[in-house]
Amino acid sequence: MRFAAIVFVLLLSAPTMAHQLKASVTTVLFNKRTNNIELMHRFYLHDTEHAVEHLFDGNADILSNKDDQKRFADYVESHIALQTLDGKPLELKEVGAQVDGKFFWVYQEVTIPEGIHGIRMSNGALRDLWPAQVNMVNIEGKGKVKTLTFSQDDTWLEAKFEALEPQ
């Protein structure tokens, strides 16, 4: 009976505990069709609502105010950087942002540089607000998917690509 009570309490608290973790997921896609590196940053809408309360005045409305959405997208973009492995900055361009269900998306892109063999990336979005924030980045379109995980004191991480496959 005691075991059943413990399981019941854990099940009741699971939804509360489940969203204690602050996390985002970014996809960095090397799109051969467009010849762009496309970045798609996905944040839980719940986290963005809390973030705009801290970042902007308490009346910010990430759900329906396009100006507040733009301000949050600008904030995210100011905390993201890409470089080649030798440290040459890749100038990311703003593409847009949107609310989609329970997520807030921010989009960026840059032309794929000739002969790129890997990237260095910095992803500090929301980590200045919540030190426990984890930003996971999946890099696709250059061989096997590579994953970078920004947590704790990580500032720059790198992914090297395998030799290009013959075309």
Higher local confidence (pLDDT), 15 or 73: 73
Residue 59: the pLDDT is 81
Give CA–CA dist 41/105, Å, rounded.
5
Residue 9: the pLDDT is 41
Give residue 16's pLDDT band: very low, low, confident or very high (50, 70, 90): very low
pLDDT digits (tens, 9 = 90+) for 39-97: 999 999 999 999 999 998 778 899 999 999 999 999 999 999 999 999 999 999 999 99
Give residue 167's pLDDT band: very low, low, confident or very high (50, 70, 90): very low
Give CA–CA dist 56/126, Å, rounded.
13
Give residue 20's pLDDT band: very low, low, confident or very high (50, 70, 90): low
Residue 166: the pLDDT is 52
Give CA–CA dist 126/131, Å, rounded.
8
Residue 11: the pLDDT is 46
- Which of 2-6, 83-87, 149-153 shows the lowest mean pLDDT across its residues? 2-6
pTM of the model: 0.85
